[in-house]
Amino acid sequence: WRMIWEHNTRNIIMLTQTVEKGKIKCDHYWPFDNEPIVSGDITIQMTSESMLPEWTIREFKITHGANTRRVRQFHYTVWPDHGVPETTETLVKFIRYVRRTIDGEAKHTGPTIV
């Protein structure tokens, strides 16, 4: 979260599940619900979660001191365990959705994290 704050990142793209075949593949770095979590001197609160068939969009309010920012996470949820998608259709739809959503923001924010 420190890196997200320091680089003014507003969008996170996640392509993996947190657990695959019983092994942790990615830390669950965001709050499970709307209860805030604290990472150092940064507070993170999930303000919305939209679960779609192939991806989930989460929005967070992150606070550092008296400053607050909004950050979105685009989580592609259908990448198969230890494999690749059978077709590129859903991944291409996801990429197009993300691009449409963040288009125009890039000049005002830091890099997108993948």
Can you give the CATH number for the domain in which 36 is found? 3.90.190.10
Residue 1 has a CB neighbour count (10 Å cut-off) of 20
pLDDT computed for residue 42 by the predictor: 98
- Provide the number of structural domains found in the chain: 1
**With pLDDT > 70 as the criterion, what percentage of the chain qualifies?**
98
Q: Is residue 84 part of a domain?
A: yes
- Examine residue 114 and state whether it is found in any structural domain, yes or no: no
* Domain contains 51: yes
Does 13 map to a domain?
A: yes
90 conformational bin, left if phi > 0, alpha if psi -120 to 50, beta if neither: alpha
- Binding residue positions for substrate: 81
Asked, for residue 36, whether it belongs to a domain, the answer is yes
In the annotated binding site, the residues are 81
Structural domain including 100 reads 2-108
| pLDDT of amino acid 37 | 97
> What pLDDT, on a 0 to 100 scale, did the predictor assign at position 80?
83
In a domain, 94, yes or no: yes
Q: What is the pLDDT of residues 57-113, one digit of tens each?
A: 999 999 999 999 999 999 999 988 878 888 899 999 999 999 999 987 767 788 999
Does the residue 57 lie in any domain?
yes
Question: Looking at the domain assignment, is residue 30 inside a domain?
Answer: yes
A 10 A CB-CB count for 102 gives 16
Q: Return the SS3 of 113.
A: strand
Whole-prediction pTM: 0.91
pLDDT tens column, 6-21:
999 999 999 988 888 8
